[in-house]
Structure formats: structure tokens, C-alpha cells
Chains A and B, each alone.
Chain A
């Protein structure tokens, strides 16, 4: 039973978020500005998974790191549980981090090679529950490892002794330690074998059912996004071009770029695949300069600019 995302107050509300990088000229003077993310707005409701899809360099990860203030946005507001994170001082932001967690793409790089995984998973408790007794903390860590499907006896081992899927489970165990309300999952399965991907996605889903966590699920795996997410935002050149319920987005894509993106998924059927490639070649090129403001074309289905040229 999947709890229906409530229509109540959104958990996370992003408005007009932009991330700009000033480009310097070769003599060090001020050049133009690279707009990695431009004027992006979306909400995430409690218990909901919002998918964020787009090609490489479209600004997916930049948004993930901006809403968690790891790389704060240049402009816009990120309201989490009613607080504008961009206005918090570092100390207050560290306290909020008990409620917002992150799962990274590369589980090989996201673990400290010199820290036992028991210490690693215990870190949230040390930081946010300073009064917790050592024995209690150890019990919590063992419970978390068991929860993500690892042997609790692994706690004294080091990251290099684990496979990619196991390491991602360790990262997830740490992320759910404090029962956060929101997790940004930045391509959490992209670095894993296909056989392991489903296990990790199922784990994320089970944890959502159990703890009511909301996810921002960043991925370029369109089929996994449809499977996991209630709503999907399509990102292109740093802007959202389409935002809709997963079913209506996949069944009725309105923006030309969304159609191109969905049309780029190979089909395991030679006849259909040949037709797909033929259609793809015929698709009109889309100019990123034409991305306009989002317009609601159907209830809950938002499309940028002029969707029917």
C-alpha cells in the first residue's frame, strides 16, 4: 500500500531557483554568465517522489545540490517545512540537515575509505543526537544495517570490502538514520549493475512506505523514473520544460523536447526500434531559446512556452 501524497502544504517548495556561474575572460576580467539553472520552480508534497530527468549537463545535479544548500542557489527561494533554507546561517542549516539527507551517485566515492561503516552510519547520531549513549548508538547502527539488508556484523568493516550495491545500501542506511522527511537521491542507481538497481529502488520505495519520506529522484533512466515517481519534471538547458504526473507525462508528452527524450529510449523489438529511429530522425530540432514560462495545459500538467508550434 502506497500512501497517497497528501495535497496539504508542500514539504519542499522551490521558487524561481537559479544557479549562475560567472565566466572569466582570459585576462581575468568579467565575462559572460553561465546559467546552469534558470528560474526553476516546483513543489514536493509529503510522501511524494518527484522525478527530475534530463540529459547530461541539463542542471539536474545542480538543482539537487542547490535545494540541499551544498551549493547554494544564486537566486530564488527553497522553502523546506516552511523555512527558507537560503536565509539560514550555517549553524541553523546544519540542524536542518537532520531532516534533509542526500544519496549520491557514486557509492565508491561517497564513503570515507578510512572510516568503518559502523562509524559512518553512526555519524548522524553523533552530530544530531549528542546525548545518545554509545551502546544505544551501536544498537541503532545495527538496526539500520539490518534494515537496508546488510549483516549487522559488517559494522567494523571498511568500504573497500563491499560491492557497489552494498555500498549504496550503506549510504542509504546513513541517510535514513534520523528518519528524515526528505531525501535527494542524485542518480542513486546510475553507477550500479542493472541487477542491483532494482534492489536499491525497491529499498528506497519500501523506506518511503515505512517512513513517509519524500524523494527528489534525479535520474536519466526514464523507465525507472516512471516506475518510482508520482510526478516528473523534465529539465532542459537549466529550465523545466514539462512538469506533470508520471502517467500523463509519459502517455501524453506535450513539449517537443519531452517527446524527443522519450523517443530516445530504445525498444527491445527490432521492428519497433527501426520505426523509432526513423521517427527520431524526422523530429524537428528544438531551439532552447524558445523555452518560455510554464503553462498549465491540463490539471497538474505544466508545459513551457508554446507546446504546439
Chain B
């Protein structure tokens, strides 16, 4: 036996061990699995397109979304106004483009708020346990007893009608879901042996929570967040439809539908385009969320 075949401890290593293969890291592997799913990629493309549309609305929209053209009121789609105009002569296409800001902004912001609140509380409940767990969980149970949209409407009405308040209301309403999910995930991960190994090596509790537990629950939170964005977009549209979200004349898909319902027979294009936009955004986030769930499923990891 040659010297090179011996490990430093004088034990022959299996022949395969020293061979370095260019194996992909976990993020690269996840990306490969995600891009292999056509529906997830469709969702991702639509989401990216909608975000670009919202960010670059100033350049994309052909008209000012709140400029009124009294010469073209409820005019059907034509070359000047491809999506038609509404009852005061707003260009519907421009309002759809700018409305993406309200919808996506509300979806992303409210879910970011829900995660920012839900993750720490769920972490405390799941890891600390005891009376804190009891208190946090009874509170979330109480919140979960109220239907999501009803709670959002009540909170938005309480805070006063504005887009910011609608975002806060939706975010608070979605928080309890994240508290519950985080707690359940934390409890599952905390029972794993590597958490005990982390204690054995001398990790303080906060470091176990942040370095060992949180990275292992991120996938589940990410999937839930993506799916909740879809629900939050519907919630924002609903609140705006009810006049509790984006205030006129600022555009929002929900408030556009509210106005359009009065002219459904006379000017159906006023309702079709915002409805289609909401449908597309919600579908895209749901497809992406399902794809993420499949791609991040630990049971399929090599």
C-alpha cells in the first residue's frame, strides 16, 4: 500500500473519498429543481414582469393614470386607448400599470410585516415554550377564529381608509398564520439531534435559535409567504373595492372594479382588465409558491 493511500490517522480511506466532484451547492440544486417545473417558471416570469411593470410604470404607461380626458369617456378599446377609458376618461391601461404598484406593493409589504411579526413570536413560542408559548398561542388562536378578510376589513375600517392602513390591516391579519407555522416548524427542528449537538458544543439559546433553527425553517416560511402574497393581493383588491384601500383618484385594481360594477353592461372593459390583472397576479404567485414548495421539499433532497 502506498503512503498516499493512507489518511493522517494511518487508516486507509475508501478510494472514492479523496475524489472531489463538482457537486452543486444547495442553492444551485434548488434553482435547478425550480427551473425544471414549467408552471413554477411561468409563475416566476409573470411575477417578475408584474414587478418590472410596477417599478417602471412611469415609462410604460401611455398616459397619466389620473389625467382625465373628457373627450373620451367610457370609450371602448381602440388604438388611442388599447384597454378603453373609464367613466371620467382615465386611460384604463395606464391605471392597470400604475395599479400594479398598489396591488404588488400591498401584497409584498403586508406579507413582509406579517413575517417580521410572526417569525419572532413563533420562534419564542416554539423554542421557549411554557407560559410565553401559552400566551402567544391563545392570542393567535383568537385571531385565527376571525376570518382573514373580515379581520382585515375590521382593522382597515378601524385604522381609517388609506392604502398604508390597508397594508397594515392585511399584514396584521396574516400574522397569526406565520406565528403558527413558525412555531410548528421550530418544534419539529428543535427535536432534531443537531440541535442537541449544538447545545453540547456550548451554543447559547439565542444562537441555537438563529444559527441552527431559523435556517432550517426558512423554506417553509418562504413558501407560505409566497402563497400569502396571493391572498394579500386579493385582500387589498377587496379593501379597495370596499373603499378601505387606495383612495380615488389614485389607481388600484380593486377600486377600478368598484367603479366598473356600475357600468358592467355599458362598459365591460372597465371591469375585465382589472379583473384579469388580479387573476393573473394571484395565479402567478400561487404557481410560484407551489413550485417553491416542491423544489424545497426536504424529502426530495439528495
| Interface of A toward B, CB cutoff 8 Å | 68, 70, 94-95, 97-98, 101-102, 104, 106, 109-115, 123-124, 127-128, 146-151, 153, 156-158, 160-161, 163, 165-166, 171, 174, 198-199, 202-203, 206
Inter-subunit contact B202/A166 (CB<8 Å) = no
Inter-subunit contact A70/B10 (CB<8 Å) = no
- Residues on B with beta carbons closer than 8 Å to the beta carbon of A68: 200
Confirm or deny: B20 has a beta carbon within 8 angstroms of a beta carbon on chain A: yes
Smallest CB separation, B264 vs chain A (Å): 52
Give the contacting residue for B9; candidates A110, A115, A202; CB below 8 A: A202
Inter-subunit contact A160/B301 (CB<8 Å) = yes
CB under 8 Å from chain A, chain B span 1-49: 7-11, 13-14, 17-18, 20, 23, 25-26
From B83-91, B155-163, B171-179, B189-197, the one touching the partner chain is B189-197
Bound-state Cα–Cα, A165 to B204, Å: 29
- Residues on A with beta carbons closer than 8 Å to the beta carbon of B196: 70, 104, 110
Confirm or deny: B212 has a beta carbon within 8 angstroms of a beta carbon on chain A: yes
Specify the chain B residue showing the minimal Cβ separation from A112: B194
Smallest CB separation, B142 vs chain A (Å): 24
- Residues on A with beta carbons closer than 8 Å to the beta carbon of B13: 149, 199
Other than A68-B200, A104-B193, give 12 A-B pairs with Cβ distance below 8 A.
Answer: A94-B202, A95-B202, A109-B192, A114-B26, A123-B201, A123-B203, A127-B203, A153-B20, A157-B23, A165-B14, A166-B17, A203-B9
Inter-subunit contact A97/B201 (CB<8 Å) = yes
Give the top 4 A-B pairs by smallest Cβ distance, nearest first.
A149-B7, A97-B202, A109-B193, A114-B215
- Residues on B with beta carbons closer than 8 Å to the beta carbon of A158: 25-26
A110 with B194: in contact, given A199-B11, A202-B9 (CB under 8 Å)? yes
Give the contacting residue for A97; candidates B10, B20, B200, B301; CB below 8 A: B200
- Residues on B with beta carbons closer than 8 Å to the beta carbon of A147: 8-9
Inter-subunit contact A104/B203 (CB<8 Å) = no
- Would you mind naming 8 contact pairs between A and B with Cβ atoms under 8 Å apart? A70-B200, A111-B197, A112-B212, A113-B216, A114-B215, A165-B14, A171-B197, A206-B9
- Residues on B with beta carbons closer than 8 Å to the beta carbon of A165: 14
Confirm or deny: B261 has a beta carbon within 8 angstroms of a beta carbon on chain A: no
| Interface of B toward A, CB cutoff 8 Å | 7-11, 13-14, 17-18, 20, 23, 25-26, 192-194, 196-204, 207, 211-212, 215-216, 298, 301-302
A101 with B11: in contact, given A115-B215, A158-B25, A166-B17 (CB under 8 Å)? no
- Residues on B with beta carbons closer than 8 Å to the beta carbon of A148: 9
Bound-state Cα–Cα, A128 to B17, Å: 31
Bound-state Cα–Cα, A112 to B217, Å: 12
- Residues on A with beta carbons closer than 8 Å to the beta carbon of B203: 94, 123, 127
- Residues on A with beta carbons closer than 8 Å to the beta carbon of B199: 70
Bound-state Cα–Cα, A151 to B20, Å: 9
Smallest CB separation, A32 vs chain B (Å): 25
Give the contacting residue for A160; candidates B20, B192, B200, B302; CB below 8 A: B302
Bound-state Cα–Cα, A50 to B36, Å: 53
Inter-subunit contact A110/B197 (CB<8 Å) = yes
- Residues on B with beta carbons closer than 8 Å to the beta carbon of A146: 8
Bound-state Cα–Cα, A109 to B195, Å: 9
A101 with B201: in contact, given A112-B212, A147-B8 (CB under 8 Å)? yes
- Residues on B with beta carbons closer than 8 Å to the beta carbon of A109: 192-194
Bound-state Cα–Cα, A59 to B109, Å: 52
Inter-subunit contact A161/B23 (CB<8 Å) = yes
A174 with B201: in contact, given A109-B194, A161-B23, A166-B17 (CB under 8 Å)? yes
Smallest CB separation, A244 vs chain B (Å): 29
- Residues on A with beta carbons closer than 8 Å to the beta carbon of B202: 94-95, 97-98, 124, 127-128
Smallest CB separation, B127 vs chain A (Å): 15
- Residues on A with beta carbons closer than 8 Å to the beta carbon of B192: 109
Give the contacting residue for A151; candidates B18, B201, B204, B211; CB below 8 A: B18
Give the contacting residue for A206; candidates B10, B14, B215; CB below 8 A: B10
- Residues on A with beta carbons closer than 8 Å to the beta carbon of B215: 112, 114-115
Smallest CB separation, A10 vs chain B (Å): 22
- Residues on B with beta carbons closer than 8 Å to the beta carbon of A151: 17-18, 20
Bound-state Cα–Cα, A115 to B192, Å: 14
- Residues on B with beta carbons closer than 8 Å to the beta carbon of A123: 198, 201, 203
Specify the chain B residue showing the minimal Cβ separation from A107: B193
- Residues on B with beta carbons closer than 8 Å to the beta carbon of A95: 202
- Residues on B with beta carbons closer than 8 Å to the beta carbon of A202: 9-11
Smallest CB separation, B236 vs chain A (Å): 33
